[in-house]
Amino acid sequence: RHQKSKVMWAPGSTQELNFWNIGNPPCLTMVDMPGYGFAFAPEEQVLQWTELSLFYLKSRRNLSCVFVLIDSRQGLLNSDREMLSFLERHGVKWRVVMTKTDTVHPKTLAKRICLVRDELNRFRGQVGSIVPLSAKKRQGLEDLRHLIDGYRLSRVTAKGLAGPQMVDLLERKRLKKIEKRKAKLEERQREQER
């Protein structure tokens, strides 16, 4: 089954973590997360999905890189600075993608990228330079695809990890609970047989 991501005009349309496994066996998992800035949603709901996203970001040990999307019309906002500081505190590698570059005059865009680049120099977790992107004009898409492809595991590695090593922490806990229940049931059955 092929899943498609909904693209909406309204900020706040992504309200949960959406996982996309790429390849068979999966060699890469991409996660679409709710934004952390402005959204057309109740403040309480925005706070809930922000907490979920932050928990996910700080607790995933196998997270290779976070692509932070910055609107090129706005530049770096306080919410972006806070997110980058959060990623720094938790040792998460990240890279900035400047979106909607087609909506800004080329000279203004060049200046804005320089300003953002200068401000990003104070952060240590950045891997690589800013990626300018226009989905509408399809500019920068191949560069971004190439960068993302660099995080993909080889098929051989992915097949080797398809066993118990790939099971994440939550799944391990769930399996332990099942094993405990199973052991208790077996113990009760033995007691009843006596």
Residue at token pair 């980058």: 84
% of the chain residues with pLDDT over 90: 18
Specify whether the CB–CB gap between 162 and 25 falls below 8 A. yes
Q: Write phi, then psi, for 157 (nearest 5 degrees).
A: -65, -45
134 beta partners: 139
- Count, residues in the chain: 194
- pLDDT for 102-157, tens place per residue? 999 999 999 999 999 999 998 888 888 899 999 889 898 899 888 888 887 655 54
Residue at token pair 């890189």: 65
Q: What is the pLDDT of residue 155?
A: 53
Q: What is the pLDDT of residue 120?
A: 92
Q: What is the pLDDT of residue 167?
A: 47
Q: Look up the pTM and report it.
A: 0.69
Q: What is the pLDDT of residue 83?
A: 87
* DSSP state for residue 69 in the 8-state scheme: E
What parts of the chain have a pLDDT lower than 70?
1-16, 34-42, 46, 49, 153-175
* DSSP state for residue 134 in the 8-state scheme: B
